[in-house]
């Protein structure tokens, strides 16, 4: 699984995929979707989801804190029982969390089959981190000889902290900069590796006759080149010949400049990203909301000039779509039957945004054959109009929706009108 695919999977919003419980979904599937929302970090639409995130983060911090404190001998002697109990509880939670994520893997990868989605999660970066968070704790029971080696994998638990990234967009700047500058970073790292290899071979050739026990092979030269290029050297390997010392001085100066390249790239990326965010925050913008209207033959605007429509001062016709042509409107253009008008309206200061969405009921849509009063929609969503062919129907509670109906809905909450076969228009 590549980085882009993993990132796309990690960015799935459970509320967008499963906004409400669908009537035609079985109870086990509804339960699984509910669990998926609970274990998905950053879903804060429910108290249970928030509480699960708090418990998960809190137990992780406790586990890491216990792991650190247990390394002190005096604390280990006094509180070893407390540390052991805390580790048992936190590790058990990590194991349960992993099982729940396996159970809901098909919700994370909704377009794959059950087995494939589970395998995708298991071999993803987050899946491997989740597995290493608890498995090394239980492995010594089966493989006692590797108990010491298994403790090394406890560091994987720290990587679970990256899930906090979901709550703070500013932390994503680091990832964005690295992804955007990856080509430049790869080029600079490649140059450093080539320089390191060349310096090691040259130094080995020069110093091996003078001190064969120190520069005994090419790897010794690589170690010297790495410690010289990336640090100031450790002093365990150094040239003693005049030519070797001269080469060492040259490599040291060259290494300072080469190592500064990736540092400069990352620094420039941070400055660029923060400047962009700052300009967005400091900019003064006024929203323009648009609505799409199709002109029918019976409409009064047919044959009239745009200048004769007497639209309000805050409204304007932005674009006219006439067949396959797009017309920039001016006052002398006459409106014809079949035109599609894109009307724009400037938002008044202090007004709450209003969202309209037109939903066309296609074949097998879940609303077909249902009364309006039986629809499962938000209380802050109101159906204001039903278009059935050339008729406009008043949305009464007893009205039964049919295939082909166009339902116009109104809401103050953007994104709460998600359903099938929909076309959204904002006012």
Quick: pLDDT tens for 50-59: 888 889 889 9
Confidence of residue 9 (pLDDT cuts 50, 70, 90): very low
Q: How far apart are CA 88 and CA 82, in angstroms?
A: 10
Strands of the 391-393 sheet, one edge to the other? 391-393, 381-388, 406-411, 355-360, 422-426
Say if domain 3-167 classifies as CATH 1.20.120.350. yes
> How many angstroms from the chain centroid is the CA of residue 123?
18
Decide if 35 contacts 96 (C-beta within 8 A).
no
Domains 3-167 and 352-427 share a fold: no
Class in CATH terms, 182-282: mainly alpha
Q: How far apart are CA 131 and CA 127, in angstroms?
A: 6
- Residue 417 scores a pLDDT above 50: no
pLDDT in tens, 110-151: 888 889 999 999 998 888 988 988 888 888 878 777 666 777
pLDDT in tens, 315-333: 788 888 888 778 878 777 8
Exposure on the CB side of residue 360, measured as CA atoms within 13 A: 9
Per the listing, tokens 């290493």 go with: 132
Instruction: Report pTM.
Output: 0.50
Contacting residues for 399 by C-beta, under 8 A, at least 6 apart: 371, 372, 386, 393
Residue ranges of domains in the chain:
3-167, 182-282, 288-351, 352-427
CATH number assigned to the domain covering 352-427: 3.30.70.1450
The pLDDT score that the predictor gives to residue 421 is: 45
Share of the chain above pLDDT 90, in %: 8
- Of 172-176, 306-310, 399-403, highest mean pLDDT: 399-403
Topology, domain 288-351: Alpha-Beta Plaits (3.30.70)
| Residue (of 223, 221, 224) closest to 202 by Cα position | 221
């Amino acid at each position: 699984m590549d980085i882009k695919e993993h990132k796309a999977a990690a960015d799935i919003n459970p509320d967008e995929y499963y906004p409400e419980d669908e009537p035609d979904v079985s109870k086990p599937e509804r339960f699984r979707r509910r669990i998926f929302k609970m274990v998905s970090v950053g879903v804060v639409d429910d108290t249970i989801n928030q509480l699960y995130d708090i418990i998960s983060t809190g137990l992780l911090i406790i586990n890491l804190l216990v792991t650190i404190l247990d390394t002190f001998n005096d604390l280990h002697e006094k509180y070893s029982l407390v540390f052991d109990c805390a580790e048992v509880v936190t590790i058990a939670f990590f194991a349960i969390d992993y099982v729940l994520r396996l159970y809901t893997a098909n919700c994370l990868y909704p377009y794959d089959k059950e087995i494939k989605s589970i395998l995708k999660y298991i071999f993803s970066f987050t899946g491997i981190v989740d597995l290493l968070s608890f498995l090394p704790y239980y492995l010594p029971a089966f493989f006692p000889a590797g108990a010491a080696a298994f403790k090394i994998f406890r560091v994987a638990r720290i990587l679970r902290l990256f899930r906090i990234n979901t709550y703070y967009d500013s932390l994503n700047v680091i990832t964005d900069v690295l992804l955007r500058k990856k080509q430049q970073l790869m080029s600079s790292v490649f140059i450093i590796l080539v320089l390191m290899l060349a310096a090691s071979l040259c130094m080995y050739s020069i110093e091996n006759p003078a001190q064969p026990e120190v520069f005994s092979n090419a790897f010794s030269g690589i170690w010297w080149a790495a410690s010289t290029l990336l640090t100031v050297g450790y002093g365990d390997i150094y040239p003693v010949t005049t030519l070797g010392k001269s080469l060492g001085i040259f490599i040291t100066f060259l290494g300072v400049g080469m190592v500064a390249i990736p540092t400069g790239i990352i620094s420039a990326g941070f400055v660029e990203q923060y400047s962009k965010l700052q300009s967005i925050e400091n900019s003064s913008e006024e929203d323009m909301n648009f609505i799409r209207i199709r002109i029918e033959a019976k409409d009064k605007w047919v044959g009239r000039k745009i200048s004769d429509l007497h639209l309000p001062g805050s409204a304007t016709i932005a674009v006219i779509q006439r067949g396959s042509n797009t017309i920039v409107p001016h006052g002398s253009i006459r409106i014809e039957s079949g035109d599609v008008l894109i009307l724009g309206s400037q938002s008044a200061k202090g007004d709450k945004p209003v969202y309209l969405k037109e939903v066309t009921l296609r074949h097998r849509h879940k609303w077909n054959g249902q009364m309006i009063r039986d629809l499962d929609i938000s209380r802050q969503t109101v159906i204001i109009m039903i278009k059935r062919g050339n008729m406009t129907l008043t949305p009464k509670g007893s009205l039964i929706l049919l295939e082909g109906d166009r339902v116009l809905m109104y809401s103050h909450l953007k994104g709460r009108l998600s359903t099938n076969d929909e076309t959204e228009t904002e006012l």
